[in-house]
Structure 1
Amino acid sequence: MKINWGTGLVIGMALFISFILYFVIKISTDKKYDYDLVTEQYYQKEMVFQKEFDAEENSNSLETNISGEKTAEGWMLTFPKNIDYTKIEGTVFLYRPSNKQLDFQLPLKLSSPNLLIPDKRLVAGRWNTIVQWSYEGEDYLYKKEIVY
C-alpha cells in the first residue's frame, strides 16, 4: 500500500497530538506533579486587597522596615528599632507555593525586636513570608519571597 503525502501528514499530526495529550493527562492526574500555586480562599483574599495595599504602604513609609536574614538557628525577622516592640500584635504566615501542607502561621509575641523562625520548620526551597502586624492602631504588612 502506497501512502501519499496527505495521508502521511495526517498520520504525523495524529501521532504528535497523541504525544502531547499523553503528557497533559499524565501531569494532570499524577499526584507527583501536584502544585498548589494559589490559596484556597482566593476570592475572599481579593476582597481585602485595598486594606492590604494600605497596610503595605504604611510599612514602606516607616523609617526602617522589617528585615529578614538566614542564621544558623533559622530565619530571623528584625522589626524596626524605633518602635516599642512590646506593643506589636499580629501574625507571621509562611506560605509554600509548591506544597500547602508545609504552610504555617505564628502569632507575634515579641520579647525583643527579633523573631526567630526555627530551622526545623523550614524545608529548603521558596517561601512567601507575610507579616501582618499592628502598632498603635495602624496596620502594617510585610511581604517577602525567600529561598531557604
Structure 2
Amino acid sequence: MNWGKGLILGMSVFMLFILSMCFYMFRVPADEYDHQYYEKGLGFNADFAKERQVVTDHAEPKVTVTVNTVIVAFTAPATGTAKFIRPSSASQDKGYAINTRTQNTVALPVGQLAKGRWHIQLEWQSGKKQYLYQQELSL
C-alpha cells in the first residue's frame, strides 16, 4: 500500500468516527435541568424567610406516615399547599390543598403514589405569617 491510499483510508476512518459521534450525541436524551433556575434564585430570599419563620415561631409541623395517608399536624390552624416531589421523576409530583379549619391536622391520601423516596414541601399561612417546611419521606 502506498502513502496516498493510507492517508485516504485514515481520513475516511476518522470521518466515520466523527459522524458516528454526531449521530450518537443527537440520540442521547436532553439533560434534565430546571428551566426556572433563575426565577427560583430570585425568590430564594422569600423562601428562606419563610423557613426561618418556622424556626423562630417553633411552628414545625409533625409529619406521620401511615399505610395510605400522610398526617400533618400543625401548631395552629393553617391554609396552604402540600407538594409531594419525587426526586427521580418530576412527572410523578403531586400537590394538595391544605385547609385545617378549626382542627390543626390534615390527612393527605398517598395510596396512589409510588413507593420509595419523596420530598414533602409544605407552604402554609397561619395567622398573618407565611411558613415553608421541607422534609424527606419514605412511602
Length-normalised TM-score, structure 1: 0.66
Q: How does 1:62-77 map to 2 (within 5 A)?
A: 62-77=57-72
Structure 2 counterpart of 1:92, one-letter code:
A
Equivalent residue, structure 2, for 1:100: 90
Identity of aligned residues (%): 22
Equivalent-residue separation in structure 2 for 1:35 and 1:95 (angstroms): 19
Q: Deviations over 1:73-124 (max 9, x none)?
A: 32111111xx2x1xx2211111111111110111112243222221323211
Equivalent-residue separation in structure 1 for 2:131 and 2:137 (angstroms): 19
Gaps of 5+ in 2: 1-20
The yes-or-no answer on 1:51 pairing with 2:46 is yes
Runs of 4+, deviation exceeding 4 Å: none
What root-mean-square deviation, in Å, do the aligned CA atoms of Structure 1 and Structure 2 show?
A: 2.6
Equivalent residue, structure 1, for 2:56: 61
- Report the Cα offset of residue 64 of structure 1: 4.5
Q: Deviations over 1:37-79 (max 9, x none)?
A: x544222111111011110011112234101111133211111
Larger Rg: 2
Gaps of 5+ in 1: 1-21
